[in-house]
């Protein structure tokens, strides 16, 4: 099966603005640009490894308005390939996916050359039984967010590991 990956730019629009001149044009362009990482002047790039379409939609609804650039893959093998190919600020990794689970994918990402090996990886899981957190840490994960996803905890966790403030205009 071909690798599945789709990108979501945080400020997509279905209509193009009309041409304006001067301050109005500059203001219009600024409104369409994604929120940027102050040190690199680029949107925070997040790889989301999640096979469930409903969870993908939830994460898109929560993170797209924040200005983050999101790439989606549906399994651990594709997550490894994406991290090896592109530089991300953070990976949100589902634990139970087809082809390869999140723990195995994290072990393999940690064996890649730098800078890929040190990308922060956050587990997305409904599995919060005793020992799960230790298993995630042993694999090299930097944290976890429980499902169903709590938006405040998700934003706080992303901020903690990227150093970039994340705010959703509807939740501010």
C-beta atoms surrounding 121 within 10 Å: 27
Residue 14 burial class via C-beta count within 10 angstroms: exposed 0-12, middle 13-18, buried 19 and up: exposed
What pLDDT shows up at residue 3?
Answer: 46
Across-strand partners of 48? 72, 92
Strand order from edge to edge, sheet including 143-146: 5-8, 69-73, 45-49, 90-94, 121-125, 143-146
Q: 57: Cβ–Cβ under 8 A, 6 or more apart, which residues?
A: none
- Please give the CATH superfamily to which domain 42-162 belongs: Response regulator (3.40.50.2300)
Better pLDDT: 12 or 68: 68
> What is the reported pLDDT for 16?
28
pTM equals 0.75
pLDDT value at residue 171: 56
Q: Report pLDDT for 167.
A: 73
pLDDT in tens, 100-135: 999 999 999 999 999 999 999 999 988 777 678 888
Q: Over 90: is that where the pLDDT of 70 sits?
A: yes
Report the distance separating Cα 159 and Cα 172, nearest Å: 15
Whether the per-residue pLDDT at 148 is higher than 60: the answer is yes
N residues, the chain = 172
């Amino acid at each position: 099966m071909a690798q599945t990956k789709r990108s979501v730019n945080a400020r997509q629009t279905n209509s193009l603005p009309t041409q304006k001149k001067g301050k109005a044009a500059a203001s219009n362009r600024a409104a369409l640009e994604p929120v940027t990482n102050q040190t690199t002047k680029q949107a925070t790039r997040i790889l989301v490894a999640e096979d469930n379409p409903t969870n993908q939609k939830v994460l898109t609804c929560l993170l797209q308005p924040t200005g983050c650039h999101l790439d989606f893959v549906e399994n651990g093998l594709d997550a490894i390939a994406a991290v090896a190919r592109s530089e991300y600020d953070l990976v949100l990794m589902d634990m139970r996916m087809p082809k390869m689970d999140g723990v195995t994918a994290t072990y393999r990402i940690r064996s890649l050359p730098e800078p890929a090996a040190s990308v922060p990886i956050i587990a997305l899981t409904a599995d919060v039984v005793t020992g799960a957190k230790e298993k995630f840490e042993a694999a090299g994960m930097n944290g976890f967010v429980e499902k169903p996803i709590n938006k405040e905890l998700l934003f706080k966790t992303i901020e903690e590991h990227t150093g970039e403030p994340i705010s959703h205009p509807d939740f501010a």
